[in-house]
Structure 1
Amino acid sequence: MSPTRRMWRWRSNPLRRHEDIVEAWIVLAVWVIAVVGSVLAGLVTAQAAELRFAQQRAHRHVVRAVLVADVPYGAAARWSADGRARGSVRWTAPDGTSRTGRTLVAGGLKAGARITVWQDDQGRLVPSAPTSRGEGHVEAALFAGAAAFAAAVPVFGAGAVARARLDRRRMARWDREWDLVGPRWGPKAG
């Protein structure tokens, strides 16, 4: 489409109506708000996600633990899709105290088996390892894209509703004008 056809609402034209001018401003405003809003939403979301992942990496630590009770193979199917089951473990917290808790471990392990678990700075078990730097970048980018999309959709929706209302007004005005002009064309036009 040529630039002159795209900009027809902005050019002076004897057939241009007030609704055409309003629609041109609505289209411009929708695009500006959608682009600026989605970029801001994406940037804020990406920074928040990166910060959260960095905090995870800083406050989650690997620790060796001992399995307190046997974990049968059959129990794994109830707890996770990757073959892990809930098992009781004992580990040493950062303050030197011995702690016990439950976490997901590989099925089929016997009591006394040494396993690796993750804990936070207070010595509490956390469900998984922190997100790596590379995975964090990818996830932050995905979150940013989703936030940008979520910010743009309502803006475009509101613009579409406003344009639909303008179209109804335009059609109603055309109907009124046709009611005035149409009878004059009656039998002479055919």
Structure 2
Amino acid sequence: MPAKTSRRNRPAVRLWRWRRNALRRHSDVVEAWIVLGVWLLVLVGGAVAGLVTARTVDSDLAARRARAHPVSAVVTDVTPVTPAATSARDDGRMWVAVRWTDAAGSVHQARTRMLPDALTGTRLTVWTDGADRVVAKPLGRTEAAVQAALTGVLFGPLAAGTIWAGGRLLRAGLVRRRLTEWDEEWKRVGPEWRKLSGGRG
């Protein structure tokens, strides 16, 4: 019964590509460096990708927040919502026509969605952009920071997984190449080996 490998010797076995030995080939050294490089890219690249994504999302949300500003408007018309026009994401909201006056005294009209308790003449706050178009209410600083962080947390592992998958494909190519080299060498050495072993194998 073969002796069991002690735990103390296992690290040396795992790191055999980094140690000088008769079985190590140049392709083994290349593979070792690729594995090390891939893991570094997975750790560092994933973290950097997550941070960059979070900052990009936060900057985009901040730009939207800067372009939008609230105005006081009045409901001028209420459009009833029919069952056929509703959907699971409507939340019971309906379209209403609103009118507001900007700082220069110009009157604007648009349509927006609000809860069904709106009546003609109801005053409400709508958000508009630089072209006086009604836009969705922008996220606050805290909400934007949370969304940016969650996006970064989700994208970081995705980027790391992509890097790891690319490294696996590259390593698989090296393994196939090494097997081909072994096959070619065995074709040269095999006949001599069988002669030395008396025809066995």
Cα displacement string for residues 77-118 of structure 1 (whole angstroms, at most 9, x for unaligned residues): 159422212221112224332210011122353322222221
Structure 2: gaps of 5 or more residues: 1-6
The residue identity in structure 2 corresponding to 1:63 is: V
**Equivalent residue of 2:78, what SS?**
coil
Runs ≥4 in structure 1, deviation > 4 angstroms? Answer: 180-183
Question: In the alignment, which residue of structure 1 is the partner of 2:25?
Answer: 17
Q: CA shift at 1:17, angstroms?
A: 1.5
The residue identity in structure 2 corresponding to 1:97 is: S
Q: Does the 8 A contact of 1:79 with 1:85 survive in 2? A: no
| Change in CA separation of 1:129 and 1:61 when aligned onto 2, cut-off 3 Å | same
Percent identical residues: 43
Which one of the candidate residues 50, 72, 79 is aligned to 2:58? 50
Cα displacement string for residues 136-168 of structure 1 (whole angstroms, at most 9, x for unaligned residues): 122111222343234333322221111111111
Q: CA shift at 1:3, angstroms?
A: 4.0
Alpha-carbon distance in 1 for matches of 2:198, 2:163: 45
**Equivalent residue of 1:103, what SS?**
strand
The 5 A counterparts of 1:103-118 are 103-107=112-116, 109-118=118-127
**Equivalent residue of 2:17, what SS?**
coil
- Number of aligned residues: 188
Q: Does the 8 A contact of 2:71 with 2:125 survive in 1? A: yes
Q: So what's the TM-score if we normalise by structure 2?
A: 0.78
Q: Does the 8 A contact of 2:78 with 2:95 survive in 1? A: no
Q: So what's the TM-score if we normalise by structure 1?
A: 0.81
**Equivalent residue of 1:135, what SS?**
helix
Is structure 2 residue 36 aligned with structure 1 residue 28?
yes
The residue identity in structure 1 corresponding to 2:127 is: W
Question: In the alignment, which residue of structure 1 is the partner of 2:147?
Answer: 139
Alpha-carbon distance in 2 for matches of 1:61, 1:28: 51
Q: CA shift at 1:70, angstroms?
A: 1.9
Cα displacement string for residues 52-75 of structure 1 (whole angstroms, at most 9, x for unaligned residues): 222333332332221121231427
The residue identity in structure 1 corresponding to 2:182 is: W
Aligned CA-pair RMSD: 2.7
* Structure exhibiting the larger radius of gyration computed from Cα positions: 2
